[in-house]
Structure 1
Amino acid sequence: MLTKAALRRTALAQRKALPAAEVARRSAQLCAGFFRQYSVAEWRWLHVFLPLAAKNEPDTWAIIHQIWAVESAPRLAAPVVQPDGISLKHYELTPATPLLSNRWGIPEPQAALGAEVQPTQLDAVLVPLLACDQRGHRVGYGGGFYDRFLAQCQPGTQFIGLSILDDEPLAEIADVLPTDVPLTACITPGGVWNF
């Protein structure tokens, strides 16, 4: 079993080595896998993360634009890191939403201009990750932002990880914490894993 720190180092190096064209190809596969797996018309709200291109995160814009193009699709929410540096608030994301880059370079809705969305309103959350195991536990960047956020959602909310790496879930992550919130599924370029 590997620790989160070891898995994080390995996954970040693997992602960094991907050329832009490969990130785009794999992101398109993630988008196709997402829409094959989920009937989004059943949801009222879907939470999406906006990609940090400098870290070769999955490009979620294809999913976002496809949802915006469908009349019966759910409304979208995206996170904004709060000044305390440890928590998130969530705001509606529309084609007209102005975006600002935060201190890490992650695009965020301009909070003052958007409607705040509560975690309890969400039907599904797209979750960024570096690796996950067969029980749905994930490795992120280590800040705990998403675990704190997912713990605020209603029971039954779908937590769907998106991984640009084409790895199967690991047998087990060594240092899972009681505060870690497991995913319900993970989509990779190679397929969908349900937990």
Structure 2
Amino acid sequence: MLKADLRRAALASRRALPGAEVARRSQLLTEQLLRHLPVAEWRWLHVFLPIPHQHEPDTWPLLRRLWQELPTVQVAVPVVQPDDQTLRHFHLTPDTPLVLNRWGIPEPVGAAEVLPSQLDAVLIPLLAFDEQGHRVGYGKGFYDRFLQQCRPDALRLGLSLEPPVPRIEDAWPGDVRLNACLTPEQVWWFAEGS
């Protein structure tokens, strides 16, 4: 399937999910991450804050678990810059004040900046992914540009409410592939070069 067609289909499918089902699947994603990845070994985890009206995976349950159970793991979140092309990243704590940006995404106010090179793992929002680790997002390229700034050993982890499609036909070599993608049912791992 082509990215544009997959994007439309995935958006429609996700918007049709009842809020309670998004919450249930999001909780399962949290469990998958904490059960199958070495979260306690990370110093910095980058987490996107969800856009509720887009029915994105809700990362707030994960954040609350991290702050309560793994306080040594620091959290960074993205902030879209005025150029509408780039992201900067800021430390999020339970006490960080937040304001909503024009897309309804909470952004920290007055927080310390975190450099991409500091990150051990990045949770990536996506609409769909395939069995080779390619992903489809909203099409603006924010995460492709950001992930190229991260260390090569930083884990690129997708969060998906749905299982993968077999293949994204128009994936190209410049797309930054996932190391793994978490779904409510399992963790999909991707080998380099597959």
TM range (shorter): over 0.9
**Structure 2: where are the runs of 5+ without partners?**
none
Q: What are the superposed Cα offsets for residues 122-145 of structure 1, whole Å, 9 maximum, x if unpaired? A: 000000011111221100000000
Q: Which residue of 1 aligns with 2:119?
A: 122
Partners of 1:54 and 1:5 in 2: CA distance: 20
Q: Which amino acid aligns with 1:121?
A: Q
Partners of 1:172 and 1:179 in 2: CA distance: 16
Shift of 1:74: 1.0
- The equivalences for 1:99-118 within 5 A come to 99-110=98-109, 113-118=110-115
| Aligned partners of 2:159 and 2:182 also within 8 Å | yes
| Aligned partners of 2:40 and 2:70 also within 8 Å | no
Shift of 1:186: 0.4
Residues matched between the structures, number: 190
Q: Which residue of 2 aligns with 1:181?
A: 176
Q: What's the Cα RMSD here?
A: 1.0
Shift of 1:191: 0.9
Shift of 1:182: 0.3
Partners of 2:142 and 2:132 in 1: CA distance: 20
Partners of 1:105 and 1:26 in 2: CA distance: 21
**Structure 1: where are the runs of 5+ without partners?**
none
TM value normalised by structure 1: 0.94
| Aligned partners of 1:41 and 1:72 also within 8 Å | no
Shift of 1:72: 4.8
Q: Which residue of 1 aligns with 2:161?
A: 164
Q: Which residue of 2 aligns with 1:92?
A: 91
TM value normalised by structure 2: 0.95
Q: Which residue of 1 aligns with 2:186?
A: 191
Partners of 2:183 and 2:58 in 1: CA distance: 13
Shift of 1:70: 2.5
Shift of 1:174: 1.2
Partners of 1:164 and 1:174 in 2: CA distance: 21
Q: Which residue of 1 aligns with 2:144?
A: 147
SS at the partner of 1:173? coil
Shift of 1:102: 1.1
Q: What are the superposed Cα offsets for residues 69-92 of structure 1, whole Å, 9 maximum, x if unpaired? A: 125531000000000001000000
SS at the partner of 2:5? helix
| Aligned partners of 1:40 and 1:73 also within 8 Å | no
